[in-house]
Structure 1
Amino acid sequence: MILEAAFLFVKPELTSQFEVDFTKASQYISSIDGYLGHRLEKCLEVENKYLLLVDWNTLEDHTVGFRTSEAYLEWKKILHHYYEPFPIVEHFETVFANKK
């Protein structure tokens, strides 16, 4: 499994609408082969900062499967105008995990 992580800085005056539109846009990312789940976390210290975490089966499921899809174009149309600056997206694989 690959974890996609991106800090999203949303224009401060648009955070409420961003959260509504993020829910709508979620249908597009979740329709992609290799998608395993995602969540959006809101920062407690910085009002307009969010953390997007997406689980993918493989790196290519995100970088090729999603990014070259019609679903990505819809996701982009709904969400990309909210970001300032545009987020840097990184991918991680688990080295160690411990859950209670």
Structure 2
Amino acid sequence: MAVIEHALLLVRPGSEAGFEAAVTEAKPLIAASPGFISLEIRRPTETGQPYLLLVEWRSIEDHREGFRQSDRYQQWRALLHRFYDPMPVVSYFGDLV
């Protein structure tokens, strides 16, 4: 059963273009992770709204123990975390049984 990682990314006002450029650079880092299935980041349709992050993983452990404990995550963090205020809260969703 795959899981969806969900987060609302509150990007600092005025830094949206820089964030979007950094996302393009960061995508290959997460895509190279074992258990990664897909990534989708949606741009807000209204000013001041968060971006939507959806990542599909084979398991929560692939995200938490695999990606988050890797050197790739440190690079991802260096590229993207400076844009967030506050830091996003991550939630996971599985299939309906």
Normalising by structure 1, what TM-score? 0.91
Return the alpha-carbon distance in structure 1 between the equivalents of residues 94 and 46 of structure 2: 27
Q: Is the 8 A contact 1:2 1:93 kept in 2?
A: yes
Counterpart of 1:74?
A: 75
Counterpart of 2:25?
A: 24
The one-letter code matched in structure 2 to 1:78 is L
The one-letter code matched in structure 2 to 1:50 is Y
Q: Is the 8 A contact 1:15 1:48 kept in 2?
A: no
Q: Number of aligned pairs?
A: 96
Counterpart of 2:93?
A: 92
Unmatched tracts of structure 2, length 5 or more: none
Note if 1:4 corresponds to 2:12: no
Runs of 4+ deviating beyond 3 Å? none
Q: Aligned with 1:13: secondary structure?
A: coil
The one-letter code matched in structure 1 to 2:14 is E
Q: Aligned with 2:88: secondary structure?
A: coil
The one-letter code matched in structure 2 to 1:86 is M
